[in-house]
Amino acid sequence: MNNALVQNTKYRRDIMRALALFTFTGGLLFCTLNFIRGLYFLAALELAYSLFSIFLWFIIPKTPHLSRWILWYIIPFFIVMMFALSLPATSDAIFVWVLTIPLLAYLLLGRRLGFWVSLIFIFLGIIAYHLRFIDSSHSFSLNAAISINITLSALLVMIIAHVYELNRDKNENRLIELAGTDQLTGLPNRMKLDTSFQHISSLAKRHKIDFTLILIDIDFFKSINDQYGHDVGDEALCYIANFLNKNVRESDFLARFGGEEFALFITSTEPNQANQHIENIREMLSQSPFLNGDITINITLSAGLATYGKDGTNLESLLKKADERLYQAKHNGRNCIVFD
């Protein structure tokens, strides 16, 4: 998930760098033309914006404040458009640039903020166009046709941009969900575990609540694969995953850590209570054999616990401590829990 978010940020950085370079070049060109035409204030704005754009081109690749810089780029850019459209000496061809507003807003700001920015500036652009270019000497039908064409073309571009961004969001979220899901068991995987830890640890720190990390290992699982084959082993893993998932609270987080290991975050519970909870699960699992046709397999688990704060404040240290205690549980004969 983190990789997906990084990729999404890189995509916006690449667009911003391309736009900054384009704006720098185009701004210098229009600055020169408008200076020749005597539009000195507009030429000065375009020159200033060109210099700002080349400044952005250098800082965009590394800045941690990408969204802030995007806003500082895009809002003045649209304001300059509106200003140029309202000047008496400009032509109606400048409205073509207004049609780029939804595309830029949605690509750089996302669906929600992009919608509102697009709506505001498209509305202002249409108003400015009507005030500047609708000629009262023309017939009502001609003015109506021009007005409808301008309005519908602007709205069409905005609708297309909105639908595209909506579907892109859905597809990206789906890919992120798939990337964070174990294909065999349907549980979250190690990547999702890392992301969830950031969220849970932030809540624990902010609200001063306890949470415990538990590493769970299925005892002698290799012998199931060796004796009955990997197909039965996979079905046994799915059975165990469903059993664990049904017996943890909705507020807890269960993931397949890898192989026959699972990781569980138990939140808002003291370590002793977390130990008792996993002890109850261990006992219930030992009394719930896995049935596959004529095959009956007794399954037990071993687990090691680590407490946030006492045993560490980052995932690596908690995993290390929980793994040490899991190893101790196996050394003690398996089918047991070690939490201290």
Buried-state track 38-64, b at ≥16 Cβ within 10 A, e below 16: ebeebbebbbebbebbeebbeebeeee
Whole-angstrom Cα Rg for the chain: 30
Contact assessment for residue 104 and residue 12, using Cβ atoms and an 8 Å cutoff: no
Rounded distance between C-alpha atoms, residue 221 and residue 92, angstroms = 74
Q: What are phi and psi of 292, to 5 degrees?
A: -140, 95
Closest Cα partner for 20 from 80, 81, 69, 79?
69
- 250, 260, 261, 283: the catalytic one is 260
Going 48 to 54 to 60 to 62, the CA torsion angle's sign is negative
Closest Cα partner for 244 from 206, 299, 314?
299
Contact assessment for residue 215 and residue 158, using Cβ atoms and an 8 Å cutoff: no
Helix (H, G, I), strand (E, B) or coil at 214: strand
Residue 260: active-site member: yes
> Which residues are 214's β-sheet partners?
264, 305
Catalytic residues: 260
